[in-house]
Chain A
């Protein structure tokens, strides 16, 4: 290999990769064509039986916050009036009106869960920070969290807590106590004090007890209601506790056993209360949560792929008209195919019909399917060769003869398209018309090789061409490759760099090794 080429290749690759890595990591653009991790469609379904006339149903709605992005909300109000209220920073969906008979209301949204990058720092929480002093509502004793009850004080004195200056350790010990010493019973008490007294309680009861204990120990704490979204499992409503320790919010669950960062499969619904559905004026209320894993729709992905940087957004291909985008998507795949062909020819030494014929064949395959595409390649070849044999007798000159072949192929495709309409497979022909005509070029090369070097050579080369095309085909069909090349066109520089390196490769080809293998045998004999 020569040095200048190596350097140029390395520079091209480094440049392309740098831009690529910068875009994907610094600007956080998705690497996958549809980010399948943690994207969910969630739906709350509430059934209400009407009672006395006027009434309302209140359901907590999740908000976009670190760790979760909520979008695409829609609701069914079923004769009721739907409004969204904000209470202490918590969004509440309120359906109100005259409850008559049974109402089925629903609220659906999509959410992207991600691991929490940054925990809330003290500074960000400033608005919620109370006036300094003892009046922190998150430390206050309430009916739900009776932190000033004597039982609580009694327990705190029994458990030997570290000093107040080490709130993290205090929190940890209290968490360990509720987690280990109090049993979880689904049907157990939901009250903090009853849970403490009986040493067992429902998840809600345990969460309330922990929050109460934390508040009594001087640590701001609040219960949190959320939903656990796990692939392959039903959505599970889960309560847990958030405590502010050293200016950071720490999530902990005395039923699920986590302490520290919130697990990334948890969706936060509401803070400060564990109520899921509150209804007034209704005689009966039932609710259910449905959740389904979802993929991003193309336009959503496109929106995510436009970088936040204004200059970059300006040159993002996703801003082009959709038709242009589709054409460019196909076009940007071609260099990948060329890379494979260059490798096959210059490193492996595979004989093909020209450089681009395998790419063209692969392109034809891309537009159809592997079997149908291959059948078409063989069909066009057979047709072309048969036509050539017939035309040979007429003693025609070259260019008109090849043009007649082209006409025959177009005629055949047209006929097939007519039949295709009959058997309702018109879409089969939508994208394939042009490539198949291009394949006529294959006929030209094939027939010349056939005439001049015999059937064997022609078949070998056609076979290799098709084989390389079949090797390129999965790349052309891969949504990942398409997404990467279209979203990150700078990868073209990487491909160019690799091509420079392949072009500078002066070592033996694999075919050289096979061809000259007798050199190794000679020495064996000697």
Chain B
């Protein structure tokens, strides 16, 4: 135990208590939370700033709108039904195609229209929302996995979590769905986290269930050392989205779509700490470096450069 404690202190690993008290509580004002907790609001915000997001197909805010939802989905084959204010990927239903009158879920199970509307009704009732308050069901176009990621992706869409602190991207991790995670990109459900170097865009380390790995647990494809597609643009739109929302400590989830390139999936005001495991590096030195060099009103490009410097010096230390 003592040895672990010393190692964590040496690496500057951020613990939950410290993240809460020193970063999220301090830099993320409560009034801004709705902007990121409600994916519809995030989407509006991004669209207004010209930041690409997945195409919104339909929204049902009230139960009576469900009928309209049904009509709107006519002819759509590949889409995602999700709660606007869900947390941790809860309540997300992925449809990959149609089968007769109904749909095919990701994983191959079929789903009647009735089931789909029931799920949407559950969403509107607040079943998956953070505090159980009424929610909106939103349907987005299903994103397509980038070809270079197909072989390390199992049934789902990988995304990149970029941690942005006070206007500087500090760390990033690719989250790969696995069979164990059921197509979700949640690390605690068994998804793989791959640390990506902010400078080179190369995968440095990988982790699954908090344990370091070298290969994808399902396909056994080696993970380390591979370049991540369009990584520079990923970091840029993550930073732009973070700038828009105004939170000081934010995790931006970016998906690189095969057709559209990087799009913002959602933002998170309380990003998890697993990114440190995936990068085998603590966040503290980088966050401190941002605090030490912080100046107001830095131009965008200067901040990107600074992010690279901090990331590389952090690696040296």
A231 vs chain B, min Cβ distance (A): 45
Scoring A residues 504 to 515 as 1 if CB is less than 8 Å from chain B, else 0, what string do you get? Answer: 111111011101
Q: How many angstroms from the CA of A285 to the CA of B182 in the assembled complex?
A: 92
Q: Is A331 an interface residue (CB 8 A)?
A: no
Is the pair B18, A519 in contact by a Cβ cutoff of 8 Å? no
Report the separation of the CA atoms of residues A395 and B121 in the bound assembly, to the nearest whole angstrom.
9
Cross-chain contact A516 with B125 (CB below 8 angstroms): no
Q: Which A residues are CB-close (under 8 A) to B18?
A: 506-508
Contact B4 A399 (CB under 8 A): no
Does A518 lie within 8 Å of B211, measured CB to CB? Answer: yes
Instruction: Please tell me the size bucket of the interface on B.
Output: 35 or more
Contact A504 B21 (CB under 8 A): yes
The reply to whether B17 and A520 contact each other, CB–CB distance below 8 Å, is: no
Asked if A235 is an interface residue, CB under 8 A from chain B, the answer is no
1/0 per position for A491-526, CB-CB distance to B under 8 A?
A: 000000000000011111101110111111111000
Minimum CB–CB distance from A111 to chain B (whole Å) comes to 54
User: Is there contact, CB below 8 Å, between B22 and A519?
Assistant: no
- Chain A residues, Cβ within 8 Å of B15: 506-509, 512
Q: Which B residues from 1 to 33 make CB contacts under 8 A with A?
A: 1, 3-8, 11, 13, 15-18, 21-22
**B91 in the interface (beta carbon within 8 A):** yes
Partner of A518, one of B6, B88, B207: B207
Contact present for A398 and B125 (CB under 8 Å): yes
Return the chain B residue nearest A444 by Cβ: B132
> Is A424 an interface residue when CB atoms closer than 8 A count as contact?
no
Does B178 lie at the interface of the complex (its beta carbon under 8 Å from any beta carbon of A)? no
Residues B280 and A519 in contact, CB atoms below 8 Å apart: yes
> Is A452 part of the contact surface with B, judged by Cβ < 8 Å?
yes
Determine how close the nearest CB of chain B comes to the CB of A346; give it in whole angstroms: 6
Selected contact of A452 from candidates B118, B128, B207, B210, CB within 8 Å? B128
Partner of B13, one of A346, A398, A457, A519: A519
In the complex, chain B residues whose CB is within 8 Å of the CB of A517: 4, 210
Q: Do the beta carbons of A349 and B16 come within 8 Å of each other?
A: yes
Most buried by B among A453, A504, A511, A522: A453
Q: Is B106 an interface residue (CB 8 A)?
A: no
B276 contacts A516, C-beta separation under 8 Å: yes
If A395-B114, A398-B125, A398-B126 touch, whether A508 touches B8 (CB-CB below 8 Å) is yes
Q: Which of A2, A395, A504, A515 has the most CB of B within 10 A?
A: A515
Q: Does any Cβ of A come within 8 Å of B235's Cβ?
A: no
**Are the CB atoms of A520 and B90 closer together than 8 Å?**
no
Contact among A395, A448, A506, A509 for B127, CB-based, below 8 A = A448
Chain B positions 125 through 138: 1 when the CB is less than 8 Å from some CB of chain A, otherwise 0: 11110001000000
Instruction: Give bound CA distance, A504 to B125, whole Å.
Output: 36
A197 within 8 A of B: no
Tell whether, in the assembled complex, residue B8 and residue A452 are in contact, meaning their CB atoms are under 8 Å apart.
Answer: no
Bound-state CA distance A513–B91 (Å) is: 31
Minimal Cβ-Cβ distance residue in B for A506: B18
14 cross-chain CB contacts under 8 A: A398-B126, A398-B132, A457-B189, A506-B15, A508-B18, A509-B15, A511-B16, A512-B273, A515-B273, A515-B277, A516-B276, A517-B210, A519-B280, A520-B6
Q: A395-B114, A517-B4 are in contact. List 6 more A-B contacts (CB 8 A).
A: A453-B90, A508-B5, A512-B16, A516-B210, A518-B211, A520-B7
Using CB atoms and an 8 Å cutoff, list the residues of chain A in contact with chain B: 2, 346, 349, 395, 397-399, 448, 452-454, 457, 504-509, 511-513, 515-523
